[in-house]
């Protein structure tokens, strides 16, 4: 293996580790946000935190993408998670409306769901960014229908992996 290729692989490994650390921090942060006992108050905060995570991953990989593009990718990915994610989120927020036990149980489930969704989102976006870094996808394609489909597919795959953990 030539030295240039080895250096590129080392650089990619380092970037991947930094991105994984950013995901770990975001998972903890969104789990806490999801625990907020006020029904439906956490949704806008969670999307903002997930977009911020994606922006930090972009910075790590030195990929330039607008915040609106990141928001679109995040919401498309969550939508791709299907009825299970949306249904669980809705159910836990309704549970939060029941004073006492419902609020606590809803907060715990909501926090867990937020953490799992953020983990899947972060890992999916890392995979997409790696594709850009190795030339399988262009930066311009990130917010195109091609990039959106890849993000959705990666999110679904990561969601399955995250649920198994």
How far, in Å, CA of 95 to CA of 164, rounded? Answer: 24
Residues with Cβ within 8 Å of residue 125, at least 6 apart in sequence: 53, 54, 57, 73, 151, 154
Residue by residue, pLDDT tens for the chain (165 residues) are 577 778 788 888 999 999 999 999 999 888 777 766 655 556 677 788 888 999 999 999 999 888 888 888 887 777 766 544 555 555 555 545 555 555 555 555 566 777 888 888 899 999 999 999 988 998 888 888 898 899 889 988 888 887 666
How far, in Å, CA of 6 to CA of 110, rounded? Answer: 43
Tokens (6 digits) for 96: 């939060």
* Confidence (pTM): 0.77
Give strand ranges (E) for 17-132. none
């Amino acid at each position: 293996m030539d030295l240039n290729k080895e250096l590129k692989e080392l650089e990619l490994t380092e970037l991947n580790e930094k991105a994984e650390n950013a995901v770990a921090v975001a998972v903890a942060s969104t789990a806490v946000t999801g625990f907020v006992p006020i029904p439906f108050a956490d949704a806008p905060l969670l999307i903002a935190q997930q977009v911020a995570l994606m922006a930090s991953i972009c910075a790590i990989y030195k990929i330039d993408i607008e915040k609106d593009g990141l928001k679109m990718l995040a919401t498309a990915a969550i939508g791709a998670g299907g009825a299970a994610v949306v249904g669980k989120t809705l159910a836990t927020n309704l549970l939060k409306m029941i004073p006492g036990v419902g609020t606590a149980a809803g907060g715990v489930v909501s926090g867990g769901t937020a953490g799992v969704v953020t983990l899947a989102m972060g890992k999916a976006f890392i995979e997409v960014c790696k594709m850009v870094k190795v030339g399988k996808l262009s930066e311009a394609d990130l917010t195109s229908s091609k990039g959106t489909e890849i993000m959705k597919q990666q999110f679904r795959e990561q969601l399955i992996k995250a649920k198994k953990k």
